[in-house]
Amino acid sequence: MKYLLTVSFVLFALAGSVFAQDKTAADYKNEGNDALRNKDYQKALELYEQSVANWEEGEPLEDAMLYNMATSARRIENYEKAIKYYEMTKEQGFRPDISAYYIAFSYNKLDQEKEMESFLVDAVEEFSTSKYVGHMKKMLVTYYLKKGSEPYNEASQILASAQNADPSQYDEINARANEAFSNAKPWFEKVLKYDADNASAKASLQEINNRLAQ
């Protein structure tokens, strides 16, 4: 009896293994959809990737599943994978505008600002009529304001140092401040390209131009 039970247990385990191997790409995809609905993004991504691994060779991947993979990766802050899957979604023409926004978003989260800027400049042109273009422009404006404020604040600090400087140093101080202001100017001009009414950029540019004109 003990032998028979052992054999039965082994056969049951083997049968379970066979059934597990019989899972199709569609099965994994559907389980991934369930996990996504339950907001278990890590599990959803793993299941979707299992679906891809079992996808029929030569068949294009399903657009909606790719988008769900990208979303799951973004939700668990795996931004490298998010970029990968959003790019695939964009290339397949499925929600390309929002995919483009999230690609830039992911670059920003990875502190890859140059890649973000380059990508967004093209995306703003490509999706100029999209309802998401405003979000893309806002991301660019935030970046440009940040980059412009760095040399602008440096210039202000240089000018402040003149209070304790010898008069013979004034020309050199002004020259260094003007150089910093000149470095800040293009960034604020870029801000106005995407947000013509930006008050901060306008005020900064006006002061820069007044300083440089002296």
Residues 6+ apart with CB under 8 A from 158: 173, 176, 177, 180
Q: Is pLDDT above 60 for 15? A: no
Joined together, the tokens standing for residue 19 give 């059934």
Does this model's pTM top 0.75? My answer is yes
How many angstroms separate the CA atoms of 79 and 82, rounded?
5
How many angstroms separate the CA atoms of 157 and 155, rounded?
5
Contact status, residue 116 vs residue 104, Cβ threshold 8 Å: yes
For residue 77, with 0-12 CB atoms within 10 Å meaning exposed, 13-18 middle and 19 or more buried, which class applies? exposed
Categorize the per-residue pLDDT at 167 as very low, low, confident or very high, splitting at 50, 70 and 90. confident
Residue pointed to by tokens 């005020």: 203
- Given this model, what pLDDT does residue 103 score? 98
